[in-house]
Amino acid sequence: MVIRKLLRMKKIISASRRSDLVAFFPDWLASAVKEEHAFVYGPSGQTYRVDLSPKSVHTFILWSKNFAHLIEDCFSLRSLLKKYDQLYLHFTITGLGGTPIEKGVPRPGEAVAQLDDLVKIAEHPQRISVRFDPILYWREQGEEKTNLFFFEELAPVLQQKGIRRVRLSFAQWYARAKRRAIRQHFDYIDPPQDKKIEDAGYLVELARRYGLNLFACSQKFLTEDTGIDPSACIDGKLLQDLHPLQEPASMKKDRSQRSECGCTESVDIGSYTQSCPHSCLYCYANPRE
């Protein structure tokens, strides 16, 4: 009789879609990594324990608009994360940092300056995805404005650094964000879908010029005629291919995400109770206002 030992597939850890842990909770994150577990207060109100031991983690994913604490090894975060086989970094750069729209976010030049260090930390530029997300439109003193054209500055920098994946979406104005915009007298514009598709074509041309791959995050209408691929911001196949040992990863769709989301399974260790001082006007989560 042949007895096969069933091995549990390692999990992908997301830190975090729910708050910017690196920018504002690096002490909590470093402590969780050091102790190799986290107690997470989930969206449904339940608290659960997540095993963070290296033997159980396939890839540790960090999401942030400011990786300074990681780069500077605050609370030994950078050093502690070296225990994991693979880090993958989602870095949001919209060109709006330091403006009233993203008051607590580093200015674009400061953000871009972090890329060289992040490539060293991730140990490969393909383990970094830049999020040009969201694209916004608004009126200011009667003039229509947008961050769309910042991509002309960002694209050649990404090409030079060897970063190829860019994830994007157009702002979705949820009720909470609309109320915040009204309170702060922000005259946002939500253009018709045809306008968004037209502007997406402009981004596609720039991406082709600089050898970048565009992915639309949970906006299927952008993928039908533009040449933009649907995004799986957490992509088990990609993470398996990039893994130094090609460790198997789950390819199953993450059922906890939106229907148009292409992400595969992961475990998020952030909490909406960890409110974020970035103060982004468009935020759908729980910013500290």
| pLDDT (mean) for 213-221 | 94
This prediction's pTM = 0.94
| pLDDT (mean) for 100-123 | 97
* Nearest Cα to Cα of residue 71 among 16, 40, 106, 113: 113
| Amino acid making up residue 16 | S
SS3 184: coil
Residue 230, both tokens: 């649907």
The band of 227, judged by pLDDT with boundaries at 50, 70 and 90, is confident
Q: Distance from CA of residue 286 to its chain's centroid?
A: 16
Above 90 in pLDDT, residue 3? no
* Nearest Cα to Cα of residue 15 among 61, 52, 65: 61
- pLDDT the model gives residue 289: 55
The band of 7, judged by pLDDT with boundaries at 50, 70 and 90, is low
Provide the sign of the torsion angle of the four alpha carbons 275, 236, 72, 41, taken in this order: positive
Q: How far from 35 is each of 41, 138, 263, CA to CA, in Å?
A: 17, 45, 28
Average pLDDT, the chain: 93
| pLDDT (mean) for 168-197 | 95
The proportion of the chain whose per-residue pLDDT surpasses 90, expressed as a percent, equals: 84
196 or 254, which is more confident?
196
The band of 183, judged by pLDDT with boundaries at 50, 70 and 90, is very high
| Amino acid making up residue 204 | V
Residue 10, both tokens: 């390692």
pLDDT digits (tens, 9 = 90+) for 124-148: 999 999 999 999 999 999 999 999 9
Using only C-alpha atoms, the chain has a radius of gyration, in whole angstroms, of 19
pLDDT digits (tens, 9 = 90+) for 37-94: 999 987 777 899 999 999 999 999 999 999 999 999 999 999 999 999 999 999 999 9
Domain range summary for the chain, segments of one domain joined by +:
11-268
Lowest average pLDDT, out of 53-57, 163-167, 252-256, goes to 252-256
Residue 197, both tokens: 């598709």
Q: Which residues pair with 39 in a beta bridge?
A: 49
Residue 212, both tokens: 């970048």
218: left (phi over 0), alpha (psi -120 to 50) or beta: left
